[in-house]
Structure 1
């Protein structure tokens, strides 16, 4: 069977992260959504996404295909039900199609398919803030999926450890002279990752492959630091996708950073309004501020965005793709992509300068900026022009 992950109706509510990737490649928990599905389905997947992303994430059709809504996090039960789907069938939850069967490239009318009702519990990622607010449960699910019936690397005796049965350290990782408290949730340390001495970690916590926690970091769960990220200072209930840095002192809380982001030293975000009111976040789909239902909500930052030292972000700030923020004072709580500046005003971050910086940043990690990457950034630059002041 050929499995295809499609973006689904939540795609636009997950911007700015889905400007630069399909929904399937969002990270929540230890793994990306795609990695979860591929592990449970025991096969590779392809993607049905926006046309401008399809060069990097192509659609692969075969004689028999099952399309899966990427907003849903898989469980073994859901995966088995999906694998059993046949022609003219769909799997639904509360009238929402989780998956459907399609022959070849003929397409289907979802309303005409026979519905199989799913009664199992699942997690749906349909808003940007779901990534951090549902991260704790996602870490627990992934921990079970990755670590059951496997042996952790031995925990070094120099560490203070609580509930070692909830800690898994992959081969090649180095964790010494740290505090690991897994009484509040599992702690997962990925292959070749480093947790430097003096770090205080409270689960649920996930550290991706080759990622680093800097000296004396204070990290409260549920938090995910993705592969090749650098994390330091104080971090609470946040997700860093991969290849991003928050390596210095300063507070990051109830926040999500995409890929290739960098937070300057001593930068902080507010995650609670002074009047304790519900936080509202910019929504690209409605072009307005949306209720989150949350009292704690911090910074939402798209790929390739960066801030200078001592930057201050208001509660519920949304930063688009490839913005460069610096200067004193609080910037606006919506900063469009490709903006250059801060509280005193912004100008357009010219695309040729963006390419120069992105190429240098990616090269440091041994990754090439491809023509497809440039085309994606060009599309986002053009699309986001309506929100920029210049």
Structure 2
């Protein structure tokens, strides 16, 4: 089977995280949304996304089945989609979940032309950035069952203290002298990932392939560390997409970090306002603040962004693509894409300078910073000009 995962209006409301990828390429739980669908359906997948992203994330040709890339799969939804006939469309309220038709019809056309089937069961749909960490504990549990069902964990060193039964190590995964508590949720450690000595980890928790937790880390429930990443300090209910580093002491809570991010030593974020009020986040569409209806909401940081040592992020901070934040004091809660500075003000982070740094970052992981990546970032730079008012 081959499917295409399409972006709906969630792509816009999930900015800045989606400036550099389709919605279905976001990680929530252990896997990206696209990887979840591929696993459930035993399918190859492509993306129906923004034109400037389609070189890196192409659509598959001659495909009939299209699935909303912001919707996380579960068995009930899978059963309905598997029974979908040609010319039919699944609706949840006004949201198009999936449709089966000739290649080339987008979801708006499908809504007008195809026979609707109403889906009334609850589902997880990622519409805003905070939905990623809010739904991460549930998605870790679902992905854990999906990935480990019928399998046996690799051997876990007896120097560790293991609490509970839901702990799974993939081949090459290692941990020593650490406490792993799955009494509150499963713990998954990917291929060649490593938990260093003295770490305290409470599930649900996922450490993806080739990543590491540094000595003495304190990791709380609902946390995912994506592939090829390094994490340390204190982390609670947060998702790090991959190829990123929060390797030092400092607190990260109720937060999402994109790819190629680096958090300086002793960087901290607040996730609760002093007056316990609901947290607001900057909204790219309205250019105003949007109420999340959450009391706990920390830092949303898009791809390629970095913070210097001792940086302090206020409750409900949005950091755009390729921002560089440093210096004393609290910077504003919205830090525009391609900006350079801190509490004392920002200036434009020019593309040529950004490319120089990014090429070095990619080289550290033996990845080429190619023309496709440069063109995507150039498009994001142009799309975000109006948000840089300095």
Instruction: Calculate the TM-score normalised by the size of structure 2.
Output: 0.97
2:145 maps to 144
Following superposition of structure 1 onto structure 2, how do residues 179-194 of structure 1 map, counting pairs within 5 Å?
Answer: 179-194=179-194
- Which whole-Å CA distance do the structure 2 matches of 1:368 and 1:38 have between them? 27
The RMSD of aligned alpha carbons is: 1.1
- Which whole-Å CA distance do the structure 2 matches of 1:79 and 1:286 have between them? 35
Structure 2: unaligned runs, 5 residues or longer: none
Query: Aligned with 2:293: secondary structure?
Result: coil
Q: 2:99·2:110 contact (CA, 8 Å) conserved in 1? A: no
Following superposition of structure 1 onto structure 2, how do residues 160-239 of structure 1 map, counting pairs within 5 Å?
Answer: 160-163=161-164, 165-239=165-239
Query: Aligned with 2:206: secondary structure?
Result: strand
Deviation of 1:106 after TM superposition, in Å, equals: 5.4
Deviation of 1:386 after TM superposition, in Å, equals: 1.1
1:113 maps to 114
- Which whole-Å CA distance do the structure 2 matches of 1:158 and 1:128 have between them? 38
* 2:296 maps to 1:296: yes
- Which whole-Å CA distance do the structure 2 matches of 1:106 and 1:97 have between them? 13
- Which whole-Å CA distance do the structure 2 matches of 1:109 and 1:326 have between them? 47
Deviations 1:72-91 (Å, cap 9, x if unpaired)?
10113322322322222001
1:6 maps to 6
Q: 1:269·1:314 contact (CA, 8 Å) conserved in 2? A: yes
Query: Aligned with 2:382: secondary structure?
Result: helix
Q: 2:156·2:174 contact (CA, 8 Å) conserved in 1? A: no
Moved over 3 A (4+): 106-109
Query: Aligned with 2:64: secondary structure?
Result: strand
Q: 1:346·1:389 contact (CA, 8 Å) conserved in 2? A: no
Deviation of 1:285 after TM superposition, in Å, equals: 1.8
Query: Aligned with 2:383: secondary structure?
Result: helix
- Which whole-Å CA distance do the structure 2 matches of 1:77 and 1:272 have between them? 35
* 2:317 maps to 1:317: yes
Query: Aligned with 1:191: secondary structure?
Result: coil
Deviation of 1:250 after TM superposition, in Å, equals: 0.5
- Which whole-Å CA distance do the structure 2 matches of 1:277 and 1:109 have between them? 41
2:362 maps to 362
Q: 1:2·1:61 contact (CA, 8 Å) conserved in 2? A: no
- Which whole-Å CA distance do the structure 1 matches of 2:184 and 2:270 have between them? 24
- Which whole-Å CA distance do the structure 1 matches of 2:120 and 2:291 have between them? 28
1:70 maps to 69
- Which whole-Å CA distance do the structure 2 matches of 1:319 and 1:312 have between them? 13
Q: 1:347·1:389 contact (CA, 8 Å) conserved in 2? A: no
* 2:262 maps to 1:266: no
2:385 maps to 385
Deviation of 1:384 after TM superposition, in Å, equals: 1.1
1:43 maps to 43
Query: Aligned with 1:45: secondary structure?
Result: strand
Query: Aligned with 1:17: secondary structure?
Result: coil
- Which whole-Å CA distance do the structure 1 matches of 2:265 and 2:103 have between them? 52
Instruction: Calculate the TM-score normalised by the size of structure 1.
Output: 0.97
- Which whole-Å CA distance do the structure 2 matches of 1:104 and 1:143 have between them? 33
Deviation of 1:196 after TM superposition, in Å, equals: 0.1
Cα distance change, pair 210–106 in 1 and its aligned pair in 2 (3 A): closer
Count of residue correspondences: 388
1:81 maps to 80
Deviation of 1:176 after TM superposition, in Å, equals: 0.8
1:20 maps to 20
Structure 1: unaligned runs, 5 residues or longer: none
- Which whole-Å CA distance do the structure 2 matches of 1:293 and 1:334 have between them? 18
- Which whole-Å CA distance do the structure 1 matches of 2:329 and 2:30 have between them? 35
1:52 maps to 52
Deviation of 1:118 after TM superposition, in Å, equals: 2.1
Cα distance change, pair 110–266 in 1 and its aligned pair in 2 (3 A): same
